[in-house]
Amino acid sequence: MQPPSSTSNSEFDFERVVPALPWRGLALSVLAAAALATFAWELTARGLGYGPTLNDTSDLWADRRKAVQPDSLVIVGDSRAWFDLDLDVMQASLGQRPIQLALPGSCGYPVLAELADDPKFHGRVVASFVPGMWLAPGGPLLENSNKALKRYRDWNLAQRAGHQLGMLLEERLAFLKEEDLALGKLLDHLPIPDRAGFRAPPLLPPYFQTVDRERRARMVPACAQPGPLNDRVKNGWLPLFTPPPPPPNVPPEQFMKGMLAAIDKRYKDTAAAVAKIRARGGEVVFVRFPMTGPLKEHEDRQTPRERTWNRLLQETKTAGVHFEDHPELASFDCPEYSHLSAPDSVEFTKRLMPHLQAALKAAPR
């Protein structure tokens, strides 16, 4: 006797009954409800002060890194170079359109090292130096840089296509702010108190800038003026710039010894990266951008100039530009202590260019 086939009638056969419902009407109702919810969330986001602008994603960074040519003018470092440099002014003064690779909340060294390891690159690099960020031996600052570099190295066709589609939507919808309005980020803002074995990390500042396809960041007017957004941003810097306490299972002396060794290595590695670029005919110039208020006091105390900036220039043999050395650069006020407003960034760049040009000419060959 033959066993029943998969298509024969047997005790295991069943017929799926599709209910007789107005499916077209239901589909239209679902679409209408989704559209209404999207519209309501968009109005809510705009009411909170958000507007359509690009997210500064690893895809956007990888897109700009792909644009680097062997002789490009490249900006690396942290968010101060991201906010404070105007690409139009730099192009008019230096004769090249800069490629903006500075990453907010990051250590700039891995990007400089990646350019140094690119045998084709022999261009000019403008590097922002914030000691507490550039010298970070590990943690989120390095992770942010390495995440962007990994995306650049592994960027596939599907990710590129998704990036292009994402930009079209982000330029039109305000609620697509993955750093603030995604569910995971909203949950991060739940007030969870410290307890034994847990210390809540400091919150990152909210989205307070616009970003274009060249990754030019501009502070929104609401953050440049007194008000809730300005208060929220400037009150968040000191916790973020305060290093976490040493691990409880590591003796303080051992921890400090390890930190100093890591910092010494970072200076040496930075000097080696500069030397590689310079050997191919390129150049690197470091810039110390303005900061004001309690944040400046904190940085001056934690990372004094003589132990950080001076050492950097000495070991790398570069001619840098420190804003405090020039009254026309030191006169700017950072509304939230760490970055310049959009109009001030244009004027600052104009005043910076003669000093940057002089530093490039003074660089050893």
Q: How do 283-288 and 321-322 pair as beta strands?
A: parallel
Angle between helices 252-279 and 109-116 (to 10 degrees): 40
DSSP result, 34-95: HHHHHHHHHHHHHHTT--S-----HHHHHHHHHT--TT-EEEESSHHHHHH--HHHHHHHHS
Between 157-170 and 58-66, two packed helices, what is the crossing angle to 10 degrees? 110
Does the model's pTM come out above 0.85? yes
- Lowest-confidence pick of 11-20, 72-81, 127-136, 321-330: 11-20
Task: Report which of 215, 192, 213, 216 is spatially closest to residue 202, judged by C-alpha positions.
Answer: 192
In contact, 75 and 215? CB cutoff 8 Å: no
Residue 302 has pLDDT above 80, yes or no: yes
The fraction of the chain above a pLDDT of 90, given in percent, is 70
* C-alpha pair distances (Å), 277 with each of 116, 133, 145, 150: 5, 22, 19, 21
| Cα 127 from Cα 46, distance rounded (Å) | 35
CB 219 within 8 A of CB 341: yes
Structure tokens at 100: 């903006």
Sign of CA dihedral 244, 249, 254, 259: negative
Whether 280 shows a pLDDT value over 60: the answer reads yes
Residue-wise pLDDT tens digits, 92-126: 999 999 999 999 999 999 999 999 999 999 999 99
Specify the range with the lowest mean pLDDT, choosing from 188-197, 267-276, 356-365: 188-197
pLDDT at 6 over 70: no
Query: 359, 316 in Cβ contact below 8 A?
Result: no
Beta bridge partners of 73: 124
Q: Which of 120, 114, 108, 134 is nearest to 72 (CA)?
A: 120
Checking if the pLDDT of 190 tops 90, the result is no
Angstrom distance (rounded) from CA 353 to CA 149: 29
Domains of the chain, start order = 58-188+207-362 (3.40.50)
Residue 202 pLDDT grade (very low, low, confident, very high; cuts 50, 70, 90): low
For residue 14, is pLDDT > 60? yes
Report the range of poorest mean pLDDT among 40-54, 186-200, 293-307: 186-200
pLDDT by residue (tens digit) across 122-175? 999 999 999 999 999 988 999 999 999 999 999 999 999 999 999 999 999 998
Q: What pLDDT is stored for residue 10 in this prediction?
A: 54
Q: What is the rounded average pLDDT for all residues in the chain?
A: 91
CA–CA separation, 311 vs 104, rounded Å? 24
In whole angstroms, how far apart are CA 110 and each of 221, 257, 289?
32, 23, 20
Q: Which of 21-35, 51-65, 110-124 is predicted least confidently?
A: 21-35
